[in-house]
Amino acid sequence: MEQSIPPKPAAQSKLKFYIGGALIFAAVIYLIVSSTSANAQYYLTIQELLERKMEMVNRDVRVSGAVLGETIQYNPDTLALEFTVVQIPADNTEIEKRGGLAQVLHDATLDSTLDRLHVVYQGVKPDLLKNEAQAIMTGSIGEDNVFYADELLLKCPSRYEDALPSQVVTP
């Protein structure tokens, strides 16, 4: 009668170790990929958001624009805040070519041909929310073309401008 020789215990434990390591590695890769895609956030200009509106409805998006001061409406009882933002360039090189952020924001609020986006935010009105401030908002656009912001950050360019030295002309 022929007798089968069982595999050596060391070889069996090495095989289990490799299989277990491969499963753990696959699980880690899966968690990274699924977490990244679930938390993916698009950063778009107002123009891009409006052009891609149909595919962006109810998706998490970050958008930036210049605040139109005369459109700000706030109800302190309900904490309902509404305002309109205007398209500004996303490229820092373009912003610098146009004279810096303060100039770009100022020019955008005066140009009626640029794309605009109505924003609704639920929360306390930030002190920096005023005309020509840069609003950076996270939220989603609805089918009604209104941007429902979950998060609102504001940049007031006058607080970050470099002070230009006064130039003295000597005869």
For 111-157, write each residue's pLDDT tens digit: 999 999 999 999 999 999 999 999 999 999 998 989 999 999 998 76
Total structural domains within the chain: 2
86 and 154 share one domain: yes
In this model, does residue 85 exceed pLDDT 90?
yes
Burial class of residue 154 (count of CB atoms within 10 Å of its CB; 0-12, 13-18, 19+) = middle
Span between the terminal Cα atoms of the chain, in Å:
118
- d(C-alpha 87, C-alpha 51), whole Å: 13
The residue ranking higher by pLDDT, 23 or 117, is 117
50 and 132 share one domain: yes
Q: Which amino acid is at 93?
A: T
What's the pLDDT score for residue 81?
96
Answer whether 135's CB lies under 8 Å from 153's CB.
yes
100 and 77 share one domain: yes
pLDDT band of residue 26 (cuts 50, 70, 90) is confident
**113 falls within a domain:** yes
**Structural domain span for residue 149:** 42-159
Residue 83 bridge partners (DSSP): 119
